DNA sequence: GGCTATATGTAGCCCAGCTACTCATCGACC
DNA sequence: GGTCGATGAGTAGCTGGGCTACATATAGCC
């Protein structure tokens, strides 16, 4: 998968991953790997800054804890984050339907 | 639709629009508007450079013509472009299935 | 002591799509 | 005979988000 294909959809992935549970950054990366069958292997330099952005935007909040001597920053959705997630999901549906329509699995362009 | 959501998928749209027909730049923009129900209104500053990129990459070729006193640059797919289009379509399918899996219309995260 | 896994983070690059603009022709309207 | 909108092509420069590469620290194993 092209790396920049994620552009503009990363927030949706992170919010969806945090929907209904609290996770710390490292666990989010693992959850995305698992949930995508290994297709998504996001580098920490992508995920951590994105989480800070989401926190600045008020979509998540974080709490520090220490587990086994290691510090963890655990994130969870705010109600604004829940709303944002719903918006992202519908935006995603709209986006895919538009692109699908043009790429045309069955449109008038799909004669080949 | 967020403007940067297109990132990495524009080439697929252009190739698909040219699949089975020849169009000039302006007509491509109109065809995308039509084919997307008005959702895609790409500025010329996005489409023209992208077409030059595709031509440099050997995926399309262009010919100049003059219609009604106005110059047109008409593009059509090469066989490499056809191949690229097939690759883009399958990449798109893979991409959406991965994201769909995470956003989970029915996965274990979709309890809300 | 050194390596790997766990865990968080920053600096800076990269580049594709966007904004804003120029240039040109034609038809219509005043 | 001048202006405006539609048609048609194009470039310069900005922007920002994901990526690369690196820094830091602890636990556990050999």
Query: A with B: how many residue pairs have Cβ under 8 Å apart?
Result: 108
Contacts of B29 (CB under 8 A, 6+ apart): B41, B42, B44, B47
B40 to A18, A68, A102, B28: CA distances (angstroms): 31, 51, 10, 11
Q: What is the pLDDT of residues A80-110, one digit of tens each?
A: 999 999 999 999 999 999 999 999 754 443 3
The pLDDT value given to residue A104: 79
pLDDT over threshold 80, residue A11? yes
Contacts of B41 (CB under 8 A, 6+ apart): B29, B33
Strands (E), A2-95: 23-24, 60-67, 70-77
pLDDT over threshold 60, residue A24? yes
Pick from A40, A96, A109: which is nearest to B20 by CB? A109
Rounded to the nearest 5°, which phi and psi values hold at B98? -65, -50
The pLDDT value given to residue A108: 44
Residues of B with CB under 8 A from a CB of A: 1-2, 4-9, 12-13, 16-17, 19-20, 32, 35-37, 39-40, 82, 88-89, 91-92, 94-96, 98-104, 107, 109-112
Residue B105 or A7, more confident: A7
CA distance A72 to chain B (A): 22
Q: Apex CA A78: angle with CA A73 and CA A80, to 5°?
A: 140
Strands (E), B1-105: 23-24, 60-67, 70-77
Q: What is the pLDDT of residues B38-92, one digit of tens each?
A: 999 999 999 999 999 999 999 999 999 999 889 999 999 999 999 999 999 999 9
Q: Which of A35, A41, A108 to mutate to test the interface with B (most CBs of B within 10 A)?
A: A35
The pLDDT value given to residue A2: 76
Q: Apex CA B13: angle with CA A3 and CA B38, to 5°?
A: 120
What is d(CA B61, CA B66) in angstroms, rounded to the nearest whole number?
Answer: 17
The pLDDT value given to residue B105: 52
pTM: 0.89
Pick from A4, A16, A82: which is nearest to B109 by CB? A16
pLDDT over threshold 80, residue B1? no
């Amino acid at each position: 998968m092209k790396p920049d294909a994620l552009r503009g959809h990363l927030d949706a992935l992170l919010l969806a991953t945090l929907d209904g549970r609290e996770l710390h950054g490292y666990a989010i990366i693992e959850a995305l790997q698992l949930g995508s069958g290994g297709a998504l292997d996001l580098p920490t330099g992508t995920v951590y800054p994105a989480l800070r952005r989401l926190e600045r935007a008020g979509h998540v909040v974080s709490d520090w804890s220490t587990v086994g001597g290691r510090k963890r920053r655990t994130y969870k959705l705010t109600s604004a984050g829940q709303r944002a997630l719903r918006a992202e999901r519908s935006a995603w549906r709209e986006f895919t339907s538009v692109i699908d329509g043009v790429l045309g699995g069955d449109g008038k362009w799909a004669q080949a």
